[in-house]
């Protein structure tokens, strides 16, 4: 069975997150640690969500 990571789910289901008011700082990118997406928390602080390489 294939396991879907957090960044993959966030990218796939991006529209509901945008409707809910989540602000993304950039498109998801690949880094040495895995896939990364930048978003702002409720207080406007930038946060990275990291999906490790499998």
Is residue 38's pLDDT more than 70? yes
Mean pLDDT of 3-29: 81
* Nearest C-alpha neighbor of 7 from the set 30, 36, 33: 36
Beta strands in the chain (DSSP E): 29-31, 34-40, 46-52
Mean pLDDT of 33-48: 89
Count the Cβ atoms, other than its own, within 10 Å of residue 35: 19
Is residue 9's pLDDT more than 50? yes
pLDDT band at 32 (very low <50, low <70, confident <90, very high): very high
Between 54 and 14, the more confident residue is: 14
SS3 23: coil
């Amino acid at each position: 069975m294939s396991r879907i990571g957090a960044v993959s789910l966030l990218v796939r289901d991006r529209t509901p997150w945008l409707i809910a008011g989540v602000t993304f700082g950039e498109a998801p990118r690949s880094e040495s640690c895995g896939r990364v997406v930048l978003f702002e928390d409720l207080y406007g602080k930038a946060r990275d969500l990291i999906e490790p390489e499998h």
